[in-house]
Chains A and B, each alone.
Chain A
Amino acid sequence: MGRVKIAKKSTFIDMTAMSDVTVLLLTFFMLTSTFLSKEPTTVITPPSVSTEKVQETNFVQVLVSPEGKVWLTMNNDTSSAWSNEKMRMALLDKVSEIYNESHKNQVKFTPAQKQTFAKLGSFGVPLAQMGEFLDLADQQEGQTKMDKWLSGEDENPNHVTGIPINWNSDEAKPNEFQMWMKALRQTENDNLAQAIKDGTGVAIKGDQNTSFDIIHMVMDNLQTIHMNKFTFLTALKAEE
């Protein structure tokens, strides 16, 4: 009996071409994409035929959750003289100034707290608790604790999530949301003030299933402090 000889074949596959392709893909993804920013709540923006692109910088995003909670996110133009840190510190100073005009319990922030605020992404806690919130950064797992507080998963029932907002049409007695918006306009960052005036400076991001009541409240708040022009963030929908 003759034995069938099986030819020995090398199983070596040349991966060079594959490697080339993956590196190309990687480069593509790295160059075209922007990182998702971490937000306290996930919303699905309503589809719209509007093709106006969102500005890259110089706008404030007002994130509105379906429950009516509000967070702010700054998108500062870092190429100008206003670095992110400088802008945020100026904002915090301004807002505490406005707050202290009308409140007995004055808020004051230490330089360390201001430093922490300057590094925040989204923020949304009442000013009275802001100090406590900012102090968390120095603790162990402070970042996680802060994120939990911001998204309302905190165990402490005293921690309030979201910037306090209510139906308020009295300009002389602004609520905290209005204080923040006013403070944004009053910092010496002229680019941002101009953008807010033009209507590109404030972008409301709400979920498509949020009831009109809540969006209306935010709109009404802005109207009260004479920010009559703003934008809604939407997702692209193809025109039929």
Chain B
Amino acid sequence: MALEDLYREVILDHYRNPRNKGHIDSPDATAHGVNPLCGDEVTIDLTFNGDTVTEVAVESQGCSISQSSASMMTEAIKGKTRSEIESLTNKFKSMMSIEEDTDLGLDPERPGSVLGDIEALQGVRQYPVRIKCANLGWTVLAEALSS
């Protein structure tokens, strides 16, 4: 496993230029999470129209993996319903799981066909200590959705 597979261009791009960065003035849901071991932080604000996420904003600080993961997540969930987001979250968590070897139907010939840019984070699985970085944004999202 080469470091180039971990630090793919798309990850570095999201790290340098995080999408949907900031806060929403009066969000319908919000959550904040910290990884106490490393100090990475993510705050997520959401607005809904019925069951569908209309706006999402993330304020965060941390490493390239936690930041890019959160940024890619915001792009993936905008316009999605709660149940679509739940299914996306499950797919992401299994992609990050070292125990499970679930077939997510990821197509090596067509990268991004299932999870979009997020698939670029597959490389993280080879670095177990960094999995928690990739998961942070998604964990906070789950909290915001249940709040």
Q: Do A and B bind each other?
A: no
Interface residues of A (CB under 8 A from B): none
Interface residues of B (CB under 8 A from A): none
